[in-house]
Amino acid sequence: MLFKQQALLRQKLFVLGSLAIGSLLYLVARVGSLDRLQPLCPIDGRFGPHSQDEIPLRALQFKRGLLHEFRKGNATKEQIRLHNLVQQLPKAIIIGVRKGGTRALLEMLNLHPSVVKASQEIHFFDNDENYAKGIEWYRKKMPFSYPHQITIEKSPAYFITEEVPERIYKMNSSIKLLIIVREPTTRAISDYTQVLEGKERKNKTYYKFEKLAIDPNTCEVNTKYKAVRTSIYTKHLERWLKYFPIEQFHIVDGDRLITEPLPELQLVEKFLNLPPRISQYNLYFNATRGFYCLRFNIVFNKCLAGSKGRIHPEVDTSVITKLRKFFHPFNQKFYQITGRTFNWP
C-alpha cells in the first residue's frame, strides 16, 4: 500500500516537473520571438562603414524571425506597414551554372543581413508562360525585405536559355549577374548524376554517362548532349555579352566554394558593394555531410539538403581525358573574357 502511494506521488511529481519545465521553455522561446519582432531595424545601411569584428547576430536573428514569418505569408498587412517591408525586384541574379553550386551560393549570401533570397527558383525569364504573366507577377514572387536590403534570386536555367539576356536587360540593364562555375567535366558528371537519380527514383533505366558524352559513331565528344553543352561556359557567356558589359558579371569559383567558402563570399560581397558581414562564424565544416554548413546564430544552423553533394558514378578515365581536352580551348577563352583563371586541366 505504502509502496503504491509512493509510486503515485512520484508520478505526480514527474508530471508537475514536466509542466514546469515545459512552461519555462515556452516562456524563453516566446521572449526570444518577441525580441525578434521589435521594430528596431538593427540592419545597418548597406554602404556604411563596418568592422569585421561586428557579429551580425542580432540582425540575423531578426531576419530569421520576422522575415521568415513574412516569407511564409504569416504576416498581417499591419506588420508589413509597421516594418515598412516591400517586395523588391532582384538587384542581383545567380544566372547559373546548373550544378555549379548555385544553391550553396544563394544560401550563403543569405547569411548577409542586407541580402534577402527568393527561396524558390522562379524561372520567370526562361519560361515563356511565366514571362507572359508580367513583371508584377515576378515581383510578387519576391520575399518581403527592408527597402535598403537587396533581393537575390537564382534560376540556373537562365544561363543557357537563348531569350533570357534580353529579357533581363529589359527589366534592369544595370543588374548584377553572378555565375558560379565548376571544372566543366565534373560539372557535366554532376548534371548527369542528378538526371540519373531522377530516373532511378521512377524505377527507370538510363544510359551510362560514357554513352551519352561520347558519340559512338565518331568516338568524339557528343556536343548534342546537354550536360556537355552547358559546360561550354564561354559559348553561353558570349550571348550574354551582347547585352551586358563584362563588369556586370562576377564569376564565382564553385570548386573553391566547396572547400573554402569564405574568400569566395567575400569577393561577392565586394562585387555587390555590400559591407563585409559574412564571417567564419557563419560557416562551419560538417564532417558527416562533408561540406560547409551555415550558422545563422547560436541556435540556428543548417546544412544543404542531401540532394546537394551526391556521390558521382565512376566514369571511364579515357572519357574524362577526352572531355577535358575538348573543354580546354573553351576554358582558355572563358579565362580570357572573364579575367578569372582556374586551374582546370
Contacts to ligand A3P by CB under 6 A: 98-104, 156, 190, 257-258, 291-292, 304, 308-310
Cβ-based nearer residue to ligand A3P, 58 or 123? 123
Cβ-based nearer residue to ligand A3P, 144 or 255? 255
Smallest separation (angstroms) from ligand A3P to the CB of 46: 25
What 8-state DSSP symbol labels residue 114? T
DSSP readout, 18-71? Answer: HHHHHHHHHHHHHHHHHHHHS----PPPTTS---TTS-THHHHHHIIIIIHHHH
Smallest separation (angstroms) from ligand A3P to the CB of 291: 3
Residue with the three cell numbers 567535366: 185
Smallest separation (angstroms) from ligand A3P to the CB of 212: 16
Residue 190 counted as an annotated binding residue: yes
The H or E element spanning position 251 is: strand 249-253
Smallest separation (angstroms) from ligand A3P to the CB of 87: 24
Annotation marks residue 99 as catalytic: yes
Residue 103 counted as an annotated binding residue: yes
Residue 101 counted as an annotated binding residue: yes
Name the strands in the sheet holding 176-181, side by side, starting at the edge strand that comes first in the sequence.
115-117, 150-154, 92-96, 176-181, 249-253
CA 28, 33, 38, 41 torsion: positive or negative? positive
Question: Catalytic pick from 63, 99, 141, 154?
Answer: 99
Cβ-based nearer residue to ligand A3P, 148 or 229? 229
Residue 48 counted as an annotated binding residue: no
Are 125 and 163 in contact, with CB atoms under 8 Å apart? yes
| Residues in binding site | 99-103, 182, 190, 292, 308-312
Catalytic residue set: 99
| Residues in binding site for 3'-phosphoadenylyl sulfate | 99-103, 182, 190, 292, 308-312
